[in-house]
């Protein structure tokens, strides 16, 4: 059986995995990592780069790690074509910490900002921002259960907003922006689920942030990409490690950073460049999503996706069984078949397949094969 080539990436047939004990991990995060990266890390875990020690044991201020950290940043800059007037920060605290750090850095205390409420994560971001200033909710799709993104013409933007916050991909509901707002206000975007899955024009954003545990690396690291002119307004009486100026001035090393996560992220960045970069990943990711949604739509209603077609996520594909009494059987049987973490988020139920960069077409094929067999046995 020959390999299928999509977007310049060779995808092995789904019935012949190289490591049979490894599952297909459809988790929304922490998510699957590229096997090639894991093998490279495995080979270096006891002795890294001629140091005689593990990367987890060397000083973050020593030359070997400083060089690795600088290379990781450069590779990320190359992948996303990050302009020179943007700082790249490697931080702790998860993307959730940025729910507070962004308003403190960009509007201070008592300012105003616009927020789009299009899912569970934007709801959490709004709640944190409201502790520091005035939050104007420009749109709210909570009553419908987060099934689409309203057209920008319908948004109620404020006149004095320091920034506009959006969540371009809501991991839980599988709702994705297919466009960017046309505004002069700096756009702040939570790209945790979509960063590195396709090309983006960084210059259209004031700030991008992303937790690592989906398309970047292991949990414990958060990337912030912020334009220079948005740094420097942090209140003097707030925690200094949340001040982007402090972290930028110290090359993200005002305190000990998450060194292992940073090192592993660098490995993923290098792997992505070898695959052809984000343009190649975009072609593959689009093909994976199209194939899975295509099967769902053609399943005669046995499986359905509740999201508006134009707002379907490439990365997180939720689906519902027509007969929800079959949910437990679907989950137990899929797990036995090596398809793990398909249970939907507890707030919405159903199923969810997260198909980030490290998940090849073989994973989608294996899932569709199982869905077809399950449907045949239960129709």
Known catalytic residues are: 121, 190, 214
Distance separating alpha carbons of residues 198 and 314, to the nearest angstrom: 10
Distance separating alpha carbons of residues 193 and 328, to the nearest angstrom: 27
**Under a CB-based contact definition with an 8 Å cutoff, are residues 207 and 224 in contact?**
yes
Burial (CB < 10 A; 0-12, 13-18, 19+), residue 31, is buried
Phi, psi of 321 (to 5 degrees): -80, 140
CA distances from 372 to 14, 85, 217, 252, 377 (A): 15, 50, 32, 48, 9
**Which residue, chain included where needed, has tokens 């975009």?**
282
CA 150-348-305 angle, 5° bins: 60
CA distances from 319 to 36, 172, 175, 336 (A): 30, 11, 12, 20
List of residues 6+ apart from 105 with CB closer than 8 A: 226, 230, 231, 233, 234, 242, 243, 244
Task: Read off the tokens for 333.
Answer: 């049987």
Distance separating alpha carbons of residues 258 and 370, to the nearest angstrom: 38
* Alpha-carbon torsion (163, 196, 264, 217), positive or negative: positive
Task: Read off the tokens for 25.
Answer: 């991990």
Distance separating alpha carbons of residues 282 and 314, to the nearest angstrom: 9
CB neighbours (10 Å) of residue 290?
A: 13
CB neighbours (10 Å) of residue 22?
A: 12
Largest CA distance in the chain: 64
**Which residue, chain included where needed, has tokens 């005689």?**
52
């Amino acid at each position: 059986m020959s390999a299928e080539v999509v977007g310049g990436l060779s995808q092995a047939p789904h019935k012949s995995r190289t490591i049979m004990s490894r599952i297909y991990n459809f988790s929304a995060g922490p998510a699957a990592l590229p096997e090639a990266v894991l093998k490279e890390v495995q080979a270096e875990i006891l002795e890294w780069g001629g140091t005689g020690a593990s990367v987890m044991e060397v000083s973050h201020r020593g030359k070997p790690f400083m060089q690795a950290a600088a290379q990781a940043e450069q590779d990320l800059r190359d992948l996303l074509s990050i302009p020179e007037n943007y700082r790249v920060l490697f931080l702790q605290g998860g993307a959730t910490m940025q729910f507070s750090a962004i308003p403190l850095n960009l509007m201070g205390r008592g300012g105003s900002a616009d927020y789009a409420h299009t899912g569970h994560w934007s709801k959490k971001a709004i709640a944190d921002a409201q502790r520091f200033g005035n939050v104007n909710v420009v749109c709210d799709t909570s009553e419908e259960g987060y099934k689409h993104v309203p057209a920008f013409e319908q948004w109620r933007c404020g006149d004095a907003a320091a920034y506009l916050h959006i969540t371009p991909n809501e991991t839980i509901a599988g709702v994705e922006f297919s466009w960017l707002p046309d505004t002069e206000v700096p756009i702040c975007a939570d790209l945790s689920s979509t960063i590195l899955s396709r090309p983006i024009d960084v210059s259209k954003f004031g700030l991008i942030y992303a937790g690592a545990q989906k398309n970047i690396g292991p949990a414990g690291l958060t990337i912030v990409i912020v334009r220079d002119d948005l740094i420097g307004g942090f209140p003097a009486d707030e925690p200094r490690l949340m001040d982007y100026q402090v972290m930028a001035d110290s090359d993200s090393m005002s305190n000990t950073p998450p060194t292992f996560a940073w090192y592993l992220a660098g490995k993923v960045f290098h792997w992505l460049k070898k695959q052809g970069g984000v343009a190649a990943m975009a072609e593959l990711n689009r093909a994976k999503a199209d194939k899975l949604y295509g099967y769902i739509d053609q399943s005669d209603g046995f499986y359905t996706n509740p999201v508006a077609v134009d707002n379907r996520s490439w990365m997180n594909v939720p689906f519902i069984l027509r007969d929800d009494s079959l949910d437990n059987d679907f989950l137990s049987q899929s797990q036995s078949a090596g398809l793990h973490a398909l249970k939907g988020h507890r707030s919405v139920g159903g199923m969810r397949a997260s198909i980030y960069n490290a998940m090849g077409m073989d994973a989608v094929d294996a899932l569709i094969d199982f869905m077809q067999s399950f449907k045949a046995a239960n129709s």
